[in-house]
Amino acid sequence: MDFYITTPIYYVNDEPHLGHAYTTILADVLARYARLQGSQTFFLTGVDEHGQKAQEAARLHGLEPQAYVDLMHTRFQSAWQELEVANDDFIRTTQPRHVHVVEHVLNQLWQQGDIYLDEYQGWYCVPDERFWTEKDLRDGQCPDCGRPVEPVSEPNYFFRMNRYQGWLIDYIQAHLDFILPALRRNEVLGFLHQPLGDLCISRPASRLNWGIPLPFDPNFVTYVWFDALLNYVTAAGYLQDEARFSRLWPQARHLIGKDILTTHSVYWPTMLKAAGLPMPRTIFATGWWTVDGEKISKSRGNTVKPLELASIYGVEAFRYYLMSQMQPGHDADFSRERLASCYQADLANNLGNLLQRVVNMLTRYCDGRIPSPAMEAVADSDTRSLIRLCEDLPGRVFSAANAFDTPQALDQCRAVLDAANQYLERQAPWKRSAGNPQGVNTCLYTAAEALRLVALLLSPVMPKRCAEVWRRLGWLPLAVLRDGLAWGMLQPGAPVTPGEPLFPRK
């Protein structure tokens, strides 16, 4: 089964911040969980390079727009590399493969009468790159971000979005996993109670020339959202590799922020419908991060620099923290204190200490090797119930991940680590080492194997730290990682390697 996951393509003039980092890491983690379940995955991220914002930023830097975006897009690429994001593709909307798709779709819609020329009168919010009508405005400002809007009165081309309103309502109601969480589906359906206008999809080249010229009228460039949304089909192989496209595209999951819900769940599906293309599988809207309860903004000076935090706690602890905090679709609050306490409790104490204890005991009581456990059938009931818990773990973690619920997936892993810690306390192998070698062997094998398995299920979040757990337990992951999900993969006789704490005290 294919699994295609996307992030929004980020405005290239922004600096990668916490909101971008979270969404991109979430996509990475979900792609890795899908791969662990045996899916063929394709993970796309990229940058949105056209539009007024980019043009103005380039002008401020004294650069041509193309030179400016060539310079700026690498900041995103290198941030993702540092955060251990393993995207399969990185799209830039200035790439010829994408320009070709945009031109093709515009031509098609033009020829079939879904695009017409009319006078546009309204307002434009440059920071959001959104058109608004008079009645949309709130106190004369952008209803979305509250910033000033510019008056616009000019001829423009329009997409007959209104034609597809009835179809869209039916589609959303018939496909309950199309817009998630349900709260957002209801929000979109509420919005669709009002008559849907047509969508202005151009800007006169005389005012804005940094965009893709309309193929049927070079006096205009394409509206940046119409251009940007099509990135998702470009990268899936549309017009390039039809076999790949038709396999991959219907399995697309778009991760977005709740602020770009309308563009993704109203503009985008109607554009696809008009172009005769299938719908993506799911549009999942995440919440927003605040910092110590406040909206993140440059003027408040509370922007969170993801790379800075990653350098204090380690990239993977930072990924773990982000993935553990945001309940699906809800806002989450970022706090340095909570990051510190999550590091100490979940990583240093729970996971790190357990590994340290188990490896030390294996060194002391089992000659530094993985021992042979008793056959499961004759093991004591305490041991059997920990094994049972571990055997159920993959299913529980995967169903949480498949529901975009990473905090739940991590909770499941934490519960097994807690259980393994308690199991060690009850079994107390340090008291029995002299009299009962078989009991000690079984207990330490079981605890070590539980750790190996939990590490496998945490590896989408912390790939390198988890590989270090395996190395210390003498396990070489199999070529097909999924085969490692079975209980009992640690090989008796394999040497264990003691080492420094996995998550050192800060």
Instruction: List interacting residues with ligand MSP (CB under 6 A).
Output: 8-11, 14, 19-20, 22-23, 48, 228-229, 231, 256-257, 259-260, 288-289, 296
Least separation in angstroms between CB 252 and ligand MSP: 12
Which stretches within 136-264 are classed as H helix?
Answer: 165-174, 182-191, 224-229, 231-235, 242-248, 261-262
CB nearer ligand MSP, residue 60 or residue 486 = 60
Spatial separation of the C-alpha atoms in residues 275 and 277, rounded to whole Å: 6
Least separation in angstroms between CB 11 and ligand MSP: 4
Q: Which residue has 């995207």 as its token pair?
A: 87
Least separation in angstroms between CB 38 and ligand MSP: 29
CB nearer ligand MSP, residue 23 or residue 459 = 23
Report the residue number whose CB is nearest to ligand MSP: 257
CB nearer ligand MSP, residue 23 or residue 350 = 23
CB nearer ligand MSP, residue 249 or residue 475 = 249
CA 109 to chain centre: 32
Least separation in angstroms between CB 498 and ligand MSP: 41
Least separation in angstroms between CB 235 and ligand MSP: 11
Q: Which residue has 């017009």 as its token pair?
A: 239
Spatial separation of the C-alpha atoms in residues 167 and 285, rounded to whole Å: 22
- For the chain, the distance separating the N- and C-terminal CA atoms, rounded to the nearest angstrom, is 42
Token pair recorded at residue 492: 């008796």
Least separation in angstroms between CB 110 and ligand MSP: 21
Phi, psi of 203, deg, nearest 5 = -135, 140
CB nearer ligand MSP, residue 228 or residue 455 = 228
Q: Nearest 10 degrees: CA dihedral of 261, 263, 264, 270?
A: 130
Spatial separation of the C-alpha atoms in residues 406 and 402, rounded to whole Å: 9
Least separation in angstroms between CB 291 and ligand MSP: 8
Closest by CA position to 20, among listed 322, 333, 373: 322
CB nearer ligand MSP, residue 99 or residue 229 = 229
CB count, 10 Å around CB of 8? 26
CB nearer ligand MSP, residue 235 or residue 260 = 260
As to burial, measured by CB atoms within 10 angstroms (0-12 exposed, 13-18 middle, 19+ buried), residue 464 is exposed
Spatial separation of the C-alpha atoms in residues 367 and 473, rounded to whole Å: 13
